[in-house]
Amino acid sequence: MQLTFRNKFAESNRQSTVNYDASPHNTRYKYEIKTFDVRGFLWEIAPQFDALVIFAEHRYYGESLPYGNRSFADPRHLGYLTSQQALADYVELIGYLRSKREYNRSPVIVFGGSYGGMLSAWMRMKYPHIVQGAIAASAPILQFTDIVTCEAFARITTSDFRASNPTCPQLIRKAWSTITEVTSNDEGKKWLSNNWKLCEPLKTAEHVQTLKDFLQEVYINLAMVNYPYETNFLAPLPGNPINVFCQHLTNSSLTGKPLLSTLYRAISVYTNYTGQASCISTKNAAPDLGDQGWDYQACTEMVMPMCTDGVNDMFEPAEWNFKEYNNTCFKKYSVSSQPYLACQQFGCKNLNTVTNINFSNGLLDPWASGGVLRNLSSSAVAILIPDAAHHLDLRESNSNDSYNVIVTRKFHRYSIKKWIAEYRQNF
């Protein structure tokens, strides 16, 4: 059976080279096409290569819904939501563009960050005759079962906070049990709800767990978007937000309610940097950017084991339990998780034949845990950026960019120029 539908895509600069972005791009959060103003690097280099820039929306995200409002109704309708199908969509789109006379000899370079970076890398691996090169920023193509240890993500997150202030992660770790103790009775739940100005007052143990999940998400997001200047990506944030956050957590003697009051001031850096929020909602630490589609993919093919031990990281201990994970996914979608599928389809080992991919990873980014950190071949190279967070190199240039970020962007330009020259020489 062949499924035919229209993917939404946007284009700019009708020129020769096709710079193609395999959207959506972030890891934990997947985006509608309209949010791609965070890709300033593409706009900056497009004139240099006389390029047509295409942003293609991933099937089942944004407005690209194969079955309209029934796309998420049941497994029969959801079954076409896979990375393989998304790549095939992109091949179809590139073929359509190349059918036009002005583009029929145009080289194609794909870009992406996080999941989009994974798609970009896999696009080059699977369709090297279609795509001449790929920039895969913060692409955790190794974040799968038996490839990367499940603790790695949490340890990188913790190290970011520790680098700002060693006391900071210690107090975060201490706060988990403090929250449990304070909210063990109705009076404590009421106190924390009022003190933290929660939009949804704590009434049950389930509400408390939701709050803890929210906090974990906040800490991870702060590590991901720990950029050196003000941004409004997952939330309005100051430059170097972890430093600003940890400025509040310096007194190692804090315990009990004073600790939680201080933690609230730190968390407000993320939840209310603008000062305009009247209360904190614990439902989600980031805007709804297509979570339903990603949640389904995380249940089927993008099974990325995560765990914490509460010793080498600042989180509550939580083992990776695939059986429990699979059961939860089956209850939600009536599908079984396939933890080895991505590696079976695209490869996670012995990738030395891969060519023309720049794997860039900021070492402040927790997703570097699953990134390619060593060269795979002479032209599939690992670029390590010590002072960068999640796909910072794909953002537009900023006066606060470090030397390492500037050099990385220069190398991307050099690589693209080289790939295009090779294509035209062999055309």
Residue numbers annotated as active site = 114, 365, 390
Does residue 45 contact residue 394 with C-beta atoms inside 8 Å? no
358 phi, psi to nearest 5 deg = -100, 115
359 phi, psi to nearest 5 deg = -95, 100
Q: Which of 316, 360, 372, 365 is nearest to 156 (CA)?
A: 365
Q: Do you find a cis peptide bond into 24, omega within 30 degrees of 0?
A: yes
Q: Specify the 3-state DSSP secondary structure of 290.
A: coil
The string of DSSP codes covering 357-399 is EEEEEETTSGGGGGS--S-SSSSEEEEEETT--TTGGGSPP-T
Q: Which of 133, 101, 141, 120 is nearest to 39 (CA)?
A: 120
135 phi, psi to nearest 5 deg = -105, 110
The CA–CA distances, whole Å, from 158 to 38, 161, 205, 255, 346 equal: 26, 5, 26, 20, 30
Q: H/E/C letters for each residue in 74-91?
A: CHHHHCCCCHHHHHHHHH
